[in-house]
Structure 1
Amino acid sequence: MPSIKSLTMTYDALNEYGTFSEGDTITGKLTLDLLKEITVQSLFVKVKGDAEVRWTKKHGDRTQTYTAHRRYFKLKQFLISEDSKDTVVPKGIYVYKFSFNIPQGSMPSSFRGSHGRIVYKLEAALSRSWRIDRTVEKEINFVSKSYPNFHSLMLQQVGSTNKEMGLFSKGHAHMDVTVDRGAYAPGETVVIVAKINNSSSSEMTPKFSLIQDVVYRANCSTKHEGVVIHKVVDSCIKPQTQKEVRCAVKIPRGQMQTIQNCEIISVEYHLKAYLDISFAFDPEVKFPIVILPPDLVPGPQPGVAVPPYPAGATGGSSNSDFPPPAVSMGTYPASPHSGSYEYRGAQRYSAPQPAYPNNPSMYASRPNAYPAQPAHMSGGYSNPVPQLASPYGSPFSSSSSTSVLHPPPTVPTSHPPPSAPEIHPAPSSPYNVSDPAPAYNLLPSAPMMNTDFLSQSDEPPPAYSLLFPSSEKSDAQQ
Structure 2
Amino acid sequence: MEYSTKMSRISDNVSVPPSRKLTKFLILFDNTNLLFFPGQFLTGRVLVELEDETPVLGLFFHVVGEGVVRVLKKGRERHSDRENYIDFRMRLLGEPGQSPVLLSPGIHSFPFKLGLPLGLPSTFLGKHGWVQYYCKAAFREPNGLLHKNQQVFIVMNPIDLNLEPPILAQPFHCEIEHRLGVGCFTSGHVACRVRLDRGGYVPGETISVWASVVNQSRSTIKRTKASLTETIQYMARNRVVQTELRELAALTRGKIKPNETDDWKNEQLYVPPLPPTNLRGCHLIRIQYDIFFQIEPKGVDRPIKLQLPIMLATYPLRGADGTLRRKRGAQYPATLPIFRPWVEEKTIE
TM-score, normalised via structure 2 length: 0.74
CA distance in 2, matches of 1:52, 1:129: 35
What amino acid is aligned across from residue 101 of structure 2 in structure 1?
A: T
1:92 aligned to 106, 120, 123, which one? Answer: 106
**How many residues align structurally?**
302
2:201 aligned to 166, 184, 200, which one? Answer: 184
Query: Cα distance, 1:74 vs. partner?
Result: 1.7
CA distance in 2, matches of 1:73, 1:276: 48
CA distance in 2, matches of 1:88, 1:181: 65
Structure 1 residues 304 and 31: CA distance shift in structure 2, 3 A: closer
Task: Determine whether 1:257 maps to 2:277.
Answer: yes
1:242 matched to which residue of 2? 262
2:53 aligned to 25, 37, 52, which one? Answer: 37
Task: Determine whether 1:289 maps to 2:310.
Answer: yes
Task: Determine whether 1:157 maps to 2:178.
Answer: no
Identity, in percent, stands at: 21
Listed one character per residue, the Cα deviations across residues 350-402 of structure 1 (whole Å, up to 9, x for unaligned) are xxxxxxxxxxxxxxxxxxxxxxxxxxxxxxxxxxxxxxxxxxxxxxxxxxxxx
CA distance in 2, matches of 1:23, 1:306: 28
Q: Whose strand proportion is higher, 1 or 2?
A: 2
What amino acid is aligned across from residue 27 of structure 1 in structure 2?
A: T
Secondary structure of residue in 2 paired with 1:234? strand
Secondary structure of residue in 1 paired with 2:264? strand
2:344 matched to which residue of 1? none
Query: Cα distance, 1:76 vs. partner?
Result: 2.6
CA distance in 2, matches of 1:303, 1:96: 43
Instruction: Check whether the contact 2:210–2:263 (CA below 8 A) recurs between aligned residues.
Output: no
Query: Cα distance, 1:166 vs. partner?
Result: 2.8
Structure 1 residues 204 and 179: CA distance shift in structure 2, 3 A: same
Task: Determine whether 1:197 maps to 2:214.
Answer: yes
Structure 1 residues 219 and 57: CA distance shift in structure 2, 3 A: farther
Task: Determine whether 1:298 maps to 2:296.
Answer: no
Query: Cα distance, 1:220 vs. partner?
Result: 5.0
Instruction: Please list, as runs of the form range in 1=range in 2, the aligned pairs for 1:13-52 lying within 5 A after superposition.
Output: 13=31, 19-52=35-68
Secondary structure of residue in 1 paired with 2:253? coil
CA distance in 2, matches of 1:169, 1:308: 44
Note the residue ranges of structure 1 that are not aligned, 5 or more in a row.
312-478
Secondary structure of residue in 1 paired with 2:296? strand
Query: Cα distance, 1:127 vs. partner?
Result: 1.6
What amino acid is aligned across from residue 107 of structure 2 in structure 1?
A: I
What amino acid is aligned across from residue 59 of structure 2 in structure 1?
A: L
Instruction: Check whether the contact 2:120–2:280 (CA below 8 A) recurs between aligned residues.
Output: no
2:70 matched to which residue of 1? 54
Query: Cα distance, 1:55 vs. partner?
Result: 2.8
2:95 aligned to 77, 82, 85, which one? Answer: 82
Instruction: Check whether the contact 2:94–2:100 (CA below 8 A) recurs between aligned residues.
Output: no
Q: What's the C-alpha RMSD, in Å, of the aligned pairs?
A: 3.2
Secondary structure of residue in 2 paired with 1:130? coil
Instruction: Check whether the contact 1:258–1:290 (CA below 8 A) recurs between aligned residues.
Output: no
Structure 1 residues 8 and 214: CA distance shift in structure 2, 3 A: same
Secondary structure of residue in 1 paired with 2:20? coil
Instruction: Check whether the contact 1:53–1:116 (CA below 8 A) recurs between aligned residues.
Output: yes
Q: Which protein is bigger by CA-based radius of gyration?
A: 1
Structure 1 residues 135 and 251: CA distance shift in structure 2, 3 A: farther
2:151 matched to which residue of 1? 138
Instruction: Check whether the contact 2:317–2:325 (CA below 8 A) recurs between aligned residues.
Output: no
Note the residue ranges of structure 2 that are not aligned, 5 or more in a row.
1-18, 331-349
CA distance in 2, matches of 1:195, 1:304: 34
Listed one character per residue, the Cα deviations across residues 116-171 of structure 1 (whole Å, up to 9, x for unaligned) are 22111122221212344222222221123579954433333321122233368744
Flag the structure with more relative contact order, 1 or 2, with Cα contacts below 8 A and sequence separation at least 6. Answer: 2
Structure 1 residues 159 and 30: CA distance shift in structure 2, 3 A: same
CA distance in 1, matches of 2:124, 2:326: 35
TM-score, normalised via structure 1 length: 0.56
Listed one character per residue, the Cα deviations across residues 249-285 of structure 1 (whole Å, up to 9, x for unaligned) are 3333243514343222222222211112222232221
Task: Determine whether 1:213 maps to 2:260.
Answer: no
Task: Determine whether 1:224 maps to 2:242.
Answer: yes
Structure 1 residues 303 and 71: CA distance shift in structure 2, 3 A: closer
Query: Cα distance, 1:100 vs. partner?
Result: 0.6
CA distance in 1, matches of 2:107, 2:145: 21
CA distance in 1, matches of 2:94, 2:104: 17
What amino acid is aligned across from residue 85 of structure 1 in structure 2?
A: S
